[in-house]
Homo-oligomer: A and B are copies of this chain.
Amino acid sequence: MYRTHTCGELRVTQVNEMVTLAGWVQTVRKFGAITFVDLRDRYGITQLLFGEELNTVLDSNPLGREFVLQVQGKVQERSNKNTHIPTGEIELNVVSFAILNKSAVPPFTIQDDTDGGDDLRMKYRFLDLRRNAVKKNLELRYAVNRSARNYLHENGFMDIETPFLIKSTPEGARDFVVPSRMNAGQFYALPQSPQTFKQLLMVSGYDRYYQIVKCFRDEDLRADRQPEFTQIDCEMAFVEQEDILNMFEGLVKQIFKDVKNINYADQVERMTWEDAMWQFGNDKPDIRFGMQLANLKSAFLKGGKIQANGELINGAGFGVFDNAETVLAIAAPGCAEYTRKQTDELTEWVKRPQIGMQGLVYIKCNADGTYKSSVDKFYAEEKLKAIADAAGAKVGDLVLILAGREERTRKAISDLRLEMGKRLGMRKEDVFKLLWVMDFPLFEYAEEDNRWVARHHPFTSPKPDHIDIMINNNPLIENADKYLEHPYSNIKANAYDMVLNGNEIGGGSIRIYQRPLQEKMFAALGMTEEEALHKFGFLLGAFEYGAPPHGGIAFGFDRLCSILGGSESIRDFIAFPKNNSGRDVMLDAPSAIDEKQFDELQIKLNLK
């Protein structure tokens, strides 16, 4: 061993002990005839003192930043203590030292507030990983990993590895494929998730399965997506939805306790997907604050019906509202005093391409009881008050109203609500609010093919009450314009998402476990019998031999870690992430391969 102690370990109780440390040179400070060096390792920083004699040696062997150093010396109490670091009361009076390895000058500083840009830090990721800020993230990731494993172990779950070289069954996302040399012309696929395998394990009787496992999706990368990502993947047999919700809110609470020392004692709230869409405009609401939506007019169905027909706003001669499919409002608390400049800025904000609205209507609920609006000429004050009341506004609030096509407007008002919540300090980083969103639609309508697609995945069961609707109706959509009237559009799934502070951290469902229902599902998604058998014959086959009722969940491990770490970016929590083009710039991968490899795999390029 090159050391007797780590650089984070020594305290005044060890004064006068002879010790050996090894680590990296963080800083070198020369004061006349003596030199102070901060030596860093994974565990901390210890101050080294090179006295007069060694100082001469240092002169001919100068230390640079990031040199790897081994030192022997005596622990002594510092005269000038540093209360900011755990080793700040001592220093090491160096007796001898060895430079284990030199370092070129690093391309950026190894500090919390580094001077390195994103690209440089990615290229030299091995240096970026030395920074405390990144190290803390990976430590948190490991702590979450450990906590999850312990909880699942104590609850009888077994870690069972599922294969990585599987069969390509593109359905939803695109597969990464792997040419097989031994079976020329054929390909493996990398798993998008171990979904079908964990279901097979349930059929096999392993009634509590988990895995922390890499998954792969070949998608065009939006910001903060990775082609390979990690899931905490779980499945249980002989359970109903309630059992799964209880088990896995327990998991997340345990992680809070172990990793953040937060005692999450509250009941985890639950909300139907319809309520989430109706009240918050999206399916993963941040419920750290209110500011719910008022639906002044809507094309969106709730309980299978349109419940806001616009009677409050229609017919006043304001074409924007009259002609809109949807009009939605929120009441920003205490913002009635916003200046013209501020409301203009908000208007610009919603007109940005990312939001894409034509404009913003506001109503100020003034302290003196009057109402002032950007649409005063269409709506009398009484009407403005009625609208403001409908939006739940109180005196001093600012009502913000958006109008337009349903989907875009709902997304825009949801984004505006989050933005206002942020500006008003209502999205506190140290507050964590969990939420189950439930009763998702089982199907989504795919316009391009005029057919149904699975909102979650093809293995999700309908709610028990809705199984008959699915079985007794033909999935065919005869009139594309009226797809909303097709019975399938109202089938709800036995599915649930776990949402943390406005982020989906996990999702799952109770699965189909009867072959006929699974076949019906494949048919509903437009698969022929032959296709279904070719792709999922093994699963249909398994359901013939005593499949138990089962369900599960998968957590996005990268995302969960980033939220717990208070970061927007999952990349900060992955040791070796890829960039937005799916490249590892450090490795320079992907890259060309040899002729010999093409030859052995019996494939060739076919570049357009």
The chain A residues found within 8 Å of chain B, CB to CB, are: 1-3, 22-24, 40-42, 66-68, 100-104, 106, 124-127, 129-130, 135, 138-139, 141-142, 145-146, 149, 153, 158-168, 170, 174-190, 197, 200-201, 203-207, 214, 216, 218, 220-221, 227-228, 230, 238-240, 243, 513-514, 537-538, 541-549, 574-576, 578, 581-584, 586-594, 597-598, 600-608
A514–B101 Cα distance when bound, in Å, is 7
Q: Indicate if the CB atoms of B602 and A603 lie closer than 8 Å.
A: no
Complex contacts, A175 vs chain B, CB 8 Å: 597
Complex contacts, A141 vs chain B, CB 8 Å: 160
A66, A179, A200, A514, most chain B CB atoms within 10 A: A179
A190: contacting residue among B42, B100, B178, B538, CB under 8 A: B178
9 closest A-B pairs by CB: A103-B546, A167-B589, A129-B204, A186-B590, A2-B238, A66-B546, A180-B590, A604-B606, A167-B587
- CB proximity of A92 to chain B, nearest CB, Å: 16
In chain B, what residue has the closest Cβ to A513?
B101
Complex contacts, A545 vs chain B, CB 8 Å: 66, 103-104, 106, 124, 126-127
Q: Indicate if the CB atoms of A42 and B205 lie closer than 8 Å.
A: yes
Complex contacts, A197 vs chain B, CB 8 Å: 575-576
Q: Indicate if the CB atoms of B206 and A42 lie closer than 8 Å.
A: yes
A181: contacting residue among B218, B541, B598, CB under 8 A: B218
A145: contacting residue among B102, B135, B159, B583, CB under 8 A: B159
Complex contacts, A582 vs chain B, CB 8 Å: 165, 180, 182-183
Q: Indicate if the CB atoms of B160 and A548 lie closer than 8 Å.
A: no
A378–B589 Cα distance when bound, in Å, is 66
- CB proximity of A296 to chain B, nearest CB, Å: 43
A546–B129 Cα distance when bound, in Å, is 13
Q: Indicate if the CB atoms of B605 and A605 lie closer than 8 Å.
A: no
Q: Indicate if the CB atoms of A546 and B138 lie closer than 8 Å.
A: no
A103: contacting residue among B1, B129, B544, CB under 8 A: B544
A204, A206, A603, most chain B CB atoms within 10 A: A204
Complex contacts, A597 vs chain B, CB 8 Å: 168, 170, 174-175, 177, 187
- CB proximity of A242 to chain B, nearest CB, Å: 8
A1: contacting residue among B126, B158, B239, CB under 8 A: B239
Q: Indicate if the CB atoms of A126 and B542 lie closer than 8 Å.
A: yes
A570–B200 Cα distance when bound, in Å, is 21
- CB proximity of A156 to chain B, nearest CB, Å: 9
A170, A185, A543, most chain B CB atoms within 10 A: A185
A214–B547 Cα distance when bound, in Å, is 29
Complex contacts, A537 vs chain B, CB 8 Å: 588
Q: Indicate if the CB atoms of A206 and B546 lie closer than 8 Å.
A: no
Q: Indicate if the CB atoms of A603 and B600 lie closer than 8 Å.
A: no
A433–B438 Cα distance when bound, in Å, is 55
Q: Indicate if the CB atoms of A594 and B170 lie closer than 8 Å.
A: yes
Q: Indicate if the CB atoms of A590 and B139 lie closer than 8 Å.
A: no
Q: Indicate if the CB atoms of B182 and A221 lie closer than 8 Å.
A: yes
Q: Indicate if the CB atoms of B206 and A129 lie closer than 8 Å.
A: yes
A188–B604 Cα distance when bound, in Å, is 15
With A106-B545, A514-B101 known as contacts, the answer to whether A186 contacts B575 (CB < 8 A) is no
In chain B, what residue has the closest Cβ to A3?
B238
Q: Indicate if the CB atoms of B165 and A205 lie closer than 8 Å.
A: no
- CB proximity of A64 to chain B, nearest CB, Å: 9
Q: Indicate if the CB atoms of B1 and A546 lie closer than 8 Å.
A: no
A356–B344 Cα distance when bound, in Å, is 90
In chain B, what residue has the closest Cβ to A597?
B177
A591: contacting residue among B182, B186, B230, B593, CB under 8 A: B186
Q: Indicate if the CB atoms of B179 and A158 lie closer than 8 Å.
A: no
With A68-B547, A548-B101 known as contacts, the answer to whether A578 contacts B165 (CB < 8 A) is yes
Q: Indicate if the CB atoms of B603 and A605 lie closer than 8 Å.
A: yes
Q: Indicate if the CB atoms of A600 and B174 lie closer than 8 Å.
A: yes
